[in-house]
A and B are shown apart, each in its own frame.
Chain A
């Protein structure tokens, strides 16, 4: 019997294939139930006219109990959008990916939320603390504890390995 995450993801995949993605969102890779790629564009008037970004989802076997790890791809010539909540390494500071995650959400729901986050952007700029964060960021954005306030001073990096293994 497939794991719960695999069964739920296969359902979501079927829905995507039957109903299609919302406008501006396209599934480009879903070979397995651990990593999916979407392209995402903002439709209509926005600061991101004619720009296309690639969004990566990574799922662990606890999905949907545990949130997916979502980030923009910044390799192979791809760029992360310049946005106050998106770091240049592709990590995103959005509460629904962290403490506001709920299993009632889905992959498509996350895509749509991020799309509207881009669409509502007023000024193209990196988070204030971009350089500092990117220097120390963990590979998996789920290991960052972001602070979800409007202004991005949004994260605190936790040197997880050091603290837990040695001291706890």
Chain B
């Protein structure tokens, strides 16, 4: 039978070249495992073994080409199950991958640019840049109104502590990206809760005004120290849950390093079937090994043969860029939802309430106290009290004020209820600004949610792609079959 071409099913004794398990044709393993002959030589393997080897080897940036047979160098072909829907999914997967790759390139750019810029202006220059960036961040995040009130474009008029607070802003922004315990917004708003609010402020030192009327929106202080950390914890918990639900328990999320998830998926895939603790430790180690080249080549590795793309976790540059772009993104998002809120309709009016905005400088905004507008706002603006007549210090809304005579004024006759409300609402001065920070915070929150959702989608698509992979099985055409241990064919014997 010279034209007879045997297939994998005709082998009497199969041995997987990866796990070296054997199986005879009359005693299939239980449960049955798929065998594949993917190349043009006599090597055969379990499909699952081969897939996990391919996945692991591809996870290594400079690994050998796992899509080639180690013996005859035939390219393995990967096909996918899943039909049109699967095809669409992989389309989106590729698109997201490209976006990620692009982000990676940008990150690399920043990684090159930031240190070189910083290094070129070491010393005073660095400090100057940090301060300038801090001022920029304030302007972006808190809006021009706040900026103009506390800082101005004229740096000589800045209060002395601005020169301490402002340069710290970029440092904390960046730190918050690397160490999750640095919540960036709490710290930034702590810095922005100007201790000099009152010293520059117009209030006569004797009149200590608490914002007890306007409870909404919360002051930057409240947002930064209470609402945001709380929201952060809840959000991270929810995100973890959703991630687990979507991607299965085999995705260990590294604590507080969700950005690394891409890499984890890639590495874990090769972990094999059992996910015990020891295994996971090894995975973690492997992951570290694999993660390293990310700094050299943060982007991706593309194997043209099968379009398999490996994405490394957000590298340094991406994190730096991400951190420094926070104010800009926040402002853009804030403006975006403001535009949405300006529209007609019920939803928009709800949004207006949530954002606590109204048409600009129209005094009938829901959070705007008409009285305060007519009385204290102009007075504030006019600066009826001579600046510098009082010094105040404190944290948040607890402040002690000294006037020139040295007598301490603490709102001793202020009822506790009012103090608590003041804590929430912040100082009166805050209430008199258009709450840009509030919509920017919300906007940035939306941005984070959207980003994470996209990230999750990408991970899920990667997982789907992995799951639907199959190795194309070939017959033994062109192979010297005399070396094969074939099941005797009745025809052959005859």
**Given A104-B43, A160-B292, A163-B292, A168-B313 contact (CB < 8 Å):** yes
B314 interface contact, C-beta 8 A? yes
Query: Among the listed A7, A60, A168, which residue makes an inter-chain contact with B294, where contact means beta carbons less than 8 Å apart?
Result: A168
Q: Which residues of B contact A160 (CB under 8 A)?
A: 288-289, 292
B52 interface contact, C-beta 8 A? yes
Contact yes or no, A12 B20, CB < 8 A? yes
Contact yes or no, A158 B292, CB < 8 A? yes
Query: Among the listed A3, A103, A161, which residue makes an inter-chain contact with B18, where contact means beta carbons less than 8 Å apart?
Result: A103
Interface 1/0 per residue, B248-290 and A, CB below 8 Å: 0000000001001001000000111010001100100011110
Q: Which residues of A contact B64 (CB under 8 A)?
A: 99-102
- Majority DSSP secondary structure for residues of B touching A: helix
Identity of the chain B residue whose Cβ is nearest the Cβ of A140 in the assembled complex = B285
A168 to B257: give the CA distance in the assembly, Å: 8
A4 to B276: give the CA distance in the assembly, Å: 13
A20 interface contact, C-beta 8 A? no
B348 interface contact, C-beta 8 A? no
B70 interface contact, C-beta 8 A? yes
B235 interface contact, C-beta 8 A? no
A61 interface contact, C-beta 8 A? yes
Interface size class of B (residues with CB under 8 A): 35 or more
B14 interface contact, C-beta 8 A? no
| Interface 9-mer from A43-51, A62-70, A76-84, A119-127 | A62-70
B21 interface contact, C-beta 8 A? yes
A165 to B291: give the CA distance in the assembly, Å: 10
The smallest C-beta distance from B375 to any residue of chain A, in angstroms, reads: 53
A101 to B314: give the CA distance in the assembly, Å: 28
Q: Which of B20, B60, B294 has the most CB of A within 10 A?
A: B20
Q: Which residues of A contact B52 (CB under 8 A)?
A: 65
A100 to B315: give the CA distance in the assembly, Å: 26
A166 to B179: give the CA distance in the assembly, Å: 8
Interface 1/0 per residue, B35-60 and A, CB below 8 Å: 00000000100000100110010001
The smallest C-beta distance from B102 to any residue of chain A, in angstroms, reads: 19
The smallest C-beta distance from A33 to any residue of chain B, in angstroms, reads: 12
A160 to B271: give the CA distance in the assembly, Å: 20
Query: Among the listed B260, B286, B288, which residue makes an inter-chain contact with A62, where contact means beta carbons less than 8 Å apart?
Result: B286
Identity of the chain B residue whose Cβ is nearest the Cβ of A3 in the assembled complex = B274
Q: Which of A1-51 contact B (CB under 8 A)?
A: 3-4, 7-8, 11-12
Contact yes or no, B20 A65, CB < 8 A? no
**Given A99-B63, A163-B295, A4-B178 contact (CB < 8 Å):** no
Q: Which residues of A contact B319 (CB under 8 A)?
A: 167
A126 to B321: give the CA distance in the assembly, Å: 44
A164 interface contact, C-beta 8 A? yes
The smallest C-beta distance from B459 to any residue of chain A, in angstroms, reads: 17
Interface size, chain A (Cβ < 8 Å): 31
Q: Which residues of B contact A142 (CB under 8 A)?
A: 289
Contact yes or no, A66 B20, CB < 8 A? no
B181 interface contact, C-beta 8 A? no
B493 interface contact, C-beta 8 A? no
Contact yes or no, A65 B178, CB < 8 A? no
Q: Which of B53, B279, B294, B313 has the most CB of A within 10 A?
A: B53
Q: Which residues of A contact B263 (CB under 8 A)?
A: 168
The smallest C-beta distance from B380 to any residue of chain A, in angstroms, reads: 46
A128 to B282: give the CA distance in the assembly, Å: 32
The smallest C-beta distance from A163 to any residue of chain B, in angstroms, reads: 6
Contact yes or no, A143 B289, CB < 8 A? yes
Contact yes or no, A65 B70, CB < 8 A? no
The smallest C-beta distance from B64 to any residue of chain A, in angstroms, reads: 5
Contact yes or no, B271 A62, CB < 8 A? yes
A143 to B319: give the CA distance in the assembly, Å: 25
The smallest C-beta distance from A77 to any residue of chain B, in angstroms, reads: 30
Q: Which of B280-320 contact A (CB under 8 A)?
A: 282, 286-289, 291-295, 313-316, 319
The smallest C-beta distance from B315 to any residue of chain A, in angstroms, reads: 7
**Given A62-B286, A66-B286, A167-B272 contact (CB < 8 Å):** no
Q: Which residues of A contact B414 (CB under 8 A)?
A: none
**Given A99-B64, A104-B71, A145-B292, A65-B315 contact (CB < 8 Å):** no
Q: Which of A99, A145, A164 has the most CB of B within 10 A?
A: A164
Contact yes or no, A103 B17, CB < 8 A? yes
A117 to B452: give the CA distance in the assembly, Å: 50
Query: Among the listed A7, A62, A103, which residue makes an inter-chain contact with B21, where contact means beta carbons less than 8 Å apart?
Result: A7
B124 interface contact, C-beta 8 A? no
Q: Which residues of A contact B295 (CB under 8 A)?
A: 163, 167
The smallest C-beta distance from A142 to any residue of chain B, in angstroms, reads: 7
B62 interface contact, C-beta 8 A? yes
A66 to B62: give the CA distance in the assembly, Å: 14
Contact yes or no, B272 A4, CB < 8 A? yes
Q: Which residues of B contact A4 (CB under 8 A)?
A: 19, 49, 272
Interface 1/0 per residue, A134-168 and B, CB below 8 Å: 00000000110100000000000010110111111
Identity of the chain A residue whose Cβ is nearest the Cβ of B283 in the assembled complex = A62
| Extra 5 A-B pairs, beta carbons < 8 Å, given A65-B18, A65-B53, A158-B292 | A8-B19, A66-B282, A99-B60, A101-B64, A104-B71
By Cβ-Cβ distance, the 5 closest A-B pairs, closest first, are A102-B70, A103-B18, A104-B70, A158-B292, A164-B291
Can you list 18 residue pairs at the A/B interface with Cβ under 8 Å?
A61-B279, A62-B271, A64-B18, A64-B19, A65-B56, A65-B270, A99-B60, A99-B62, A145-B62, A158-B292, A160-B288, A160-B292, A163-B292, A164-B291, A167-B315, A168-B294, A168-B315, A168-B316
